[in-house]
Amino acid sequence: MLRLTWVQPEDLLGHELRQAAQDGREPSAIAARWKAAGGREAPERAGASPRRVSRYLRLLAEDLLDELADLPSSLTEQEPTDLEKIRALCPQWPGKSEVRRSSPTPAALEAAWLGRAVGCLLGKPVEKLPLEGIRALAKSTGNWPLTTYFTARGVPPDLLGTYPWNRRSASTSLAENIDGMPEDDDLNYPLLNLLLLRRHGRTFTTTDVAEIWLAELPAGRTFTAERLAYRNLLSGIEPPHTARHRNPFREWIGALIRADVHGWTHPGDPAAAAEQAHTDATLTHTANGVYAAMFTAATIAAAATGTHDVHACLRTGLTVVPPRSRLAGAITHALRLADSHEDFDTVVDELHATHTATYHWVHAIPNTALLAAALTHADGDFTGSICRAVSGGWDTDSNGATAGSVAALLTGAPAALPDRWTAPLKNRLATSVADFDGTGFDTLAHLTHREAARP
């Protein structure tokens, strides 16, 4: 029986009830109707529940999804999605007078691409595992605190039985079997955005993003908010409604992982990077999901000048996030924790205590907070940043990827990245996007540099 993940209405409803409670709607009456009809909670970690429900329950889920969408939110004014309203709420929005534009070198961009791949690869085998599982697996092989890729060598069988590696990644992302960069959505989306800029330049629209996806991105390579937006496009729904229609994942991490190219190609212009990330993100996301992408793009745009430390870059990223939003509060809290505790495990434990009961492990708010904490605590050091980001759990491969991108860009050159991280990648990555399969990171850097230098 085919149970396609992230699209079954009966599974989406539980996520939308949770999303409604987070974004200022009052879903309790609808939740009671769903429970009384026999509806279940959303799957905790998987994308689909194991059993098919009755036709009645599926139709009820569809109706209730639409009813939830019509509920008013008390957070609308402080957490808008419209770009002009976001700008109006950000008193420190970067002005054009602050722009110091200097295109990053191909070497710096190669380091950024490599860093993104390495961080992603480090996190792949432990994606979906709980924090205690990640710690136990690493400690069992003497790799804690993390300093290199995970390995299955020396892990007790009973521990692997309790905390199995991610089944999609175990054969390509453990130290003993890495052979180039395997395909991952955390690399597919930067490739798509590079293709987007090559075809449309910086004046691309959200519709252009949608058309690139439909032409170049297999539907099976999409997940959560991206899969639902893709489905909505095929149903004739146009952007930005694709982000809202029966899409409970619109504040999850998907838009954030698409933001790097927008930052790489706007060195010294965090406002433009954030605006471009907004155009991309609103195909699939709203509010805090969009802010996470803007924050990341602005942070990377500051890092791309080669003139700032990681702390200044993160402060720049915060200037494009509405200050009363949940994301701004979470990032500020994470930065304070990272500055206050010498032991990063203490920082992680505090973040999990704050966010786990409220947010799904793929939600943008806790993951962006963890990302900011990891970069801060490591002082931008490459190995320290990716290892802290992955050791913190939640969406391990995505957090490792973005931390790696920022920290590697700050190093300025591939040679600054330790060989134990980069050598197994063999300067090639696998992907189903366009003609990029097997492409080297040096080639991707030159193509990105061309877009960064475009007038």
Query: Is the distance from CB of 52 to CB of 3 less than 8 angstroms?
Result: yes
Cis amide leading into 218 (omega within 30): no
DSSP letter at 390 equals: H
Token pair listed for 191: 């490739």
Is 66 labelled as part of a ligand binding site?
no
pLDDT of 97: 38
Measured distance CA(408)–CA(386) in Å, rounded? 10
Q: Find out whether 325 is annotated in a ligand binding site.
A: no
Residue spans of the chain under pLDDT 50: 97-99
SS3 429: strand
pLDDT value of residue 7: 93
Domains (range + CATH), the chain: 9-69 (no CATH), 83-121+182-452 (1.10.4080.10)
398 is in an annotated binding site: yes
* Rounded distance between C-alpha atoms, residue 213 and residue 215, angstroms: 5
What residues pair up with 363 in beta bridges, in sequence order? 252
Torsional sign, CA 254, 260, 266, 271:
positive
Between CA 32 and CA 347 the distance in angstroms is 37
pTM, entire model = 0.97
How many angstroms separate the CA atoms of 89 and 158, rounded? Answer: 52
For 97-138, strand residue ranges (E) read none
76, 24 in Cβ contact below 8 A? yes
Euclidean distance between CA atoms 258 and 90, whole angstroms: 22
CA separation for the pair 369, 139 (Å, rounded) = 25
Burial of 228 (0-12, 13-18, 19+ CB in 10 A): buried
Give the model confidence (pLDDT) of 368-412 as tens digits: 999 999 999 999 999 999 999 999 999 999 999 999 999 999 999
- Amino acid at position 128, single letter: K
The string of DSSP letters for 322-346 reads -TTSHHHHHHHHHHHHHHH-S-HHH
CB atoms within 10 A of CB 189: 26
Is residue 351 within 8 A of residue 312, CB to CB? The reply is no
Question: Which pLDDT score is estimated for 98?
Answer: 45
Q: How far apart are CA 265 and CA 103, in angstroms?
A: 8
pLDDT reported for residue 1: 55
Spatial separation of the C-alpha atoms in residues 191 and 296, rounded to whole Å: 17
- Minimal CA–CA distance to 20: which of 222, 283, 286, 240? 286
Residue 262 structure tokens = 């927008």
Please tell me whether residue 253 adopts helix, strand or coil conformation. Answer: coil
Cis omega (within 30 of 0) on the bond before 240? yes
d(CA 436, CA 261): 15
CB 20 within 8 A of CB 71: yes
User: What pLDDT was estimated at residue 101?
Assistant: 57
Residue 61 CB coordination number (10 Å): 22
Both ends of the chain: CA-CA distance in Å? 52
Mean pLDDT of the chain: 96
Cis geometry, peptide bond prior to residue 145 (ω within 30 degrees of 0)? yes
